Chain A
Amino acid sequence: MKIAVLSGKGGTGKTLVSVNLASVAKESIYIDCDVEEPNGHLFFKPTDIKSEKISIKIPFADEKLCKGCRKCVDFCKFNALAYIINKLIVFDEVCHSCGGCVIFCPEQALSEKEKIIGEVQRGVSENVAVITGILNTGEASGIPIIKKLLCGIPAGNEISLIDCPPGSACIVMESIKEADYCILVAEPTLFGVHNLNMVYELVRLFDKPYGAVLNKCLEGENPAENYCLEKDIKILGKISFDSELGTLNSNALISVRENKKYRDMFSSLLQIVTKEVQHEPVINP
């Protein structure tokens, strides 16, 4: 049971919800797909960490075989290659690793080497297997890391919480590809609702079943709630704006492990979510 937690706007509470839901389950897997700014591990403080470096393939030329025909330079859509005074220069950061130059070199002078762009760390925190993706600073795209994070997650009834990046672009899309269900976390602000709309469209585009969790709820009108009612989005639960919860979160403490009242709140939320997921027809057998 893979549950993705996304929001569109940053700071609405994706990590709060995914970390606490993972903690309150009997046994679960927490996957941090926000590889640019991973935060879940700060809460879990996992131990027994095993690290796997993630790399992409970058071409290089065997100068003895290269005849300088420049077929590779002309082919590359990303301008990652230049041929200067009998030498092929490859620009790593611009290369998209498509492998085209290697395939089309008439002399077969090109091979590929690995360039490390980040890592995946696997550890444990009590009942939760914590899997964190980390993109190295200066690298442009975390997609290869997200791909690695999500492959090998067992299909079946074990609960996995996928903590997604903010926004609605390709990295978010990659994060929800394998999800069985999507939780949209919304905050009751003008910006929050505006961005909720974007992820709402994204989950529908990908035909994913979804429901909303309204966070930081205050007294009075809630524009996020109104939006959900208007669009017929099931509201799975509401978390009140609570300074105690805020402080625990701010100090990277897992609320359900600190206070029974939060344990109860997230337990019932998890029950509601699992019931929802089980009711959905199986999409990917």
Chain B
Amino acid sequence: MKIAIPVDEKSLETSVGQSFGRTPYYLIYDTVSKESVFLDNSAVASQGGAGIKAAQTIVDNNVNALLTPRCGENAAEVLKAAHIKLYKTIKASIKDNIDALNEGKLSLLEDIHPGFHGHGGK
């Protein structure tokens, strides 16, 4: 399956990004072929609705699951409509998160935060 993870740099050694909508890049990883691709997040420059635009990008790349520490309600709505599963990342490396997912150790992300009218981002 194809998974997406927000990341701060285009490298597998980097840490998991803190925000879904405004992370600079996404790692798209295929758990079967073990291929990884880095996507630029075009939503990062948005004034508002970054989560929505980011979610559309994820959907358009045929991702099956998203691993993220946080997700806003607008992005969550888009992802849910596309039947993409949301998992909560653990405070560990990308590799550890992928392993945890494969071992069924990652929990679903249930704490969806409300929209901030286009001015969100911690």
Residues of A within 8 A of B (CB): 73, 76-85, 87, 89, 91, 93-94, 140
Contacts of A94 in B (CB 8 A): 48-49, 52, 74, 115, 117-118
Residues of B within 8 A of A (CB): 43, 46-50, 52-53, 55-56, 59, 74, 77-78, 81-83, 115, 117-118
Contacts of B59 in A (CB 8 A): 82, 84
For the complex, give the distance between the alpha carbons of A81 and B74 in Å: 10
Contacts of B50 in A (CB 8 A): 79
Query: Is A84 a contact of B78 with CB atoms below 8 Å?
Result: yes
For the complex, give the distance between the alpha carbons of A87 and B83 in Å: 13
User: Which residue of A77, A79, A85, A140 contacts B52 across the interface (Cβ within 8 Å)?
Assistant: A79
Query: Is B74 a contact of A73 with CB atoms below 8 Å?
Result: no
For the complex, give the distance between the alpha carbons of A93 and B83 in Å: 23
Query: Is B49 a contact of A79 with CB atoms below 8 Å?
Result: yes
Query: Is A89 a contact of B78 with CB atoms below 8 Å?
Result: yes
Query: A93-B115, A94-B52, A94-B118 in contact; A79/B43 too (CB < 8 A)?
Result: yes
For the complex, give the distance between the alpha carbons of A89 and B77 in Å: 9
Query: A89-B77, A89-B81 in contact; A82/B117 too (CB < 8 A)?
Result: no
Contacts of A87 in B (CB 8 A): 81
> A122 → chain B, closest Cβ, in Å?
29
> A86 → chain B, closest Cβ, in Å?
10
> A189 → chain B, closest Cβ, in Å?
30
Query: A73-B56, A79-B53, A91-B49 in contact; A85/B115 too (CB < 8 A)?
Result: no
Contacts of B47 in A (CB 8 A): 77-78
